[in-house]
Structure 1
């Protein structure tokens, strides 16, 4: 199924609604269950209430190859208290019921594979989830996941990077549903002082390959970054800065930062 197909995609609908308002969509990431189940739900709802169009709920994993130190520390704490996968679906369900945001999970493939793509997709759909971002899964190896997401009407988001060849970008664009995740730099997540100049090239390459929606992540931490990226991308993804706000000030701090990043508050 091509990225062009958006019927029933809540993620695409939310991004397109932002576009209709003349702005890039604001996508916010938070780890599932951090620092505990109820607080993580409250923080995600605060995100939605303060301008997030799309929310990524990250599933804690013991070998987070893409995550920087702030997110690693948070997910390590969650795993240390005995976090289980069932909690993810409970959190997605609660956030979906309490907000209008499209709620995606972000997960390494091993977690889906262990449960089974069919079962994972079914449970995610039943919880009201919009789909999943799978940073370590490439379309060439995703036939099972593509079939399961098609069956349950879920979005699937693959990543494209500054090093991706034109052929690779085309394959990613063809395989995505909802949006294409443009990685702005090589390395792990984490707030940066400036946005990589590679970000615009990544977005341009995906658009040229036919992607109607490209959202940029990695390194975004300020309203200035959001405005800069929003001039050429369809959505801006913020993670580490929000996780740090949750760590330091709870859901209220997440809401305040989300308001600043989205432009809802000065």
Structure 2
């Protein structure tokens, strides 16, 4: 059973899209990153993505790259991410790990799947792993009842969209634009078309990420997508103040605005 799919379906039953919030584990500190994820759930997030800090984040923009770099410098490692998953999943929100594949490979693919499942994790978003090269991960995820979320871009062919829709579980992550993560003045116009193409290719649930940073943008994307993914804007809010309490309040405010946006979209 996919916990992530169930949360997206529950939001759909309420007449809205799901709100998915990304936060890197270990930023600004390990303790604060866990508390931030819990605050995001309390403020209206339906699903949490916990980022596993990586030294070569090709998909990440400057905000998330800097946060991950600081987390690594402070000693955040895979075991810390798995411990964070356990704490955040205890809120009841499906908790995914978003990562590049190398840390999973180095940790041991089946071992990672087993430990993630044991921590209560819902699954994995693999930013740089395509289905036709994911045999080991697919087998491990299936063996431990985990979601397999793959990323597609506006440039993806119809054949690749169909392959991704068939291989994944939970949802398909539709990158709104060609580029890296980050806040933008508007969401890429290709996002709506990509969602339509994915549905035509057989995807049951499509969530859009990259570029969403305001409640209005979340509402715009929620009109056609099953879920809205926000990362950089939330990380920015968390870094808005050196005072932890003020930073957490800023995070709660932006998540609340995004939740209101997806709630008012349909």
Q: Please give the range of the TM-score, normalised by the shorter of the 2 chains.
A: over 0.9
Contact 1:107/1:135 (8 A) holds in 2 = yes
Tell me the residue number matched to 1:4: none
Matches within 5 A, 1:172-251: 172-249=164-241, 250-251=247-248
Contact 1:43–1:252 at 8 Å: present in 2 too? no
Match of 1:90 in 2: 83
Q: 1:50: which partner in 2? A: 43
Q: Match of 1:263?
A: 260
Q: Give the alignment's Cα RMSD to 1 decimal.
A: 1.2
**Counterpart mapping for 1:107-118 below 5 A:** 107-118=99-110
Work out the CA distance in 2 between the residues paired with 1:190 and 1:51. 21
Match for residue 100 of structure 1? 92
| 1:85 Cα deviation from its structure 2 partner | 1.2
Match of 2:128 among 136, 155, 167: 136
C-alpha distance after superposition, 1:39-80 (max 9, x if no partner) = 011100010001101100001000000000011111111111
1:32 to 9, 21, 25: 25
Map 1:116-131 to 2 at 5 A. 116-131=108-123
Distance in 1 (CA, whole Å) between partners of 2:57 and 2:77 is: 16
Q: How far does the alpha carbon of each residue in 1:12-37 deviate from its partner, in whole angstroms, 9 at most, with x for none?
A: 00000000000000000000111111
Residue ranges of structure 2 left out of the alignment (5+ in a row): 242-246
Partner of residue 11 from structure 1, selected from 4, 21, 46: 4
Q: Which residue of 2 aligns with 1:3?
A: none
Counterpart in 1 of 2:244?
A: none
Q: TM-score, normalised by structure 2?
A: 0.95
Partners of 2:7 and 2:92 lie apart in 1 by 9
User: Which runs of 4 or more aligned residues in structure 1 lie more than 3 Å from their structure 2 counterparts after TM superposition?
Assistant: none
CA distance in 2, matches of 1:218, 1:84: 25
Instruction: Write the distance in 1 (CA, Å) between the matches of 2:138 and 2:33.
Output: 29
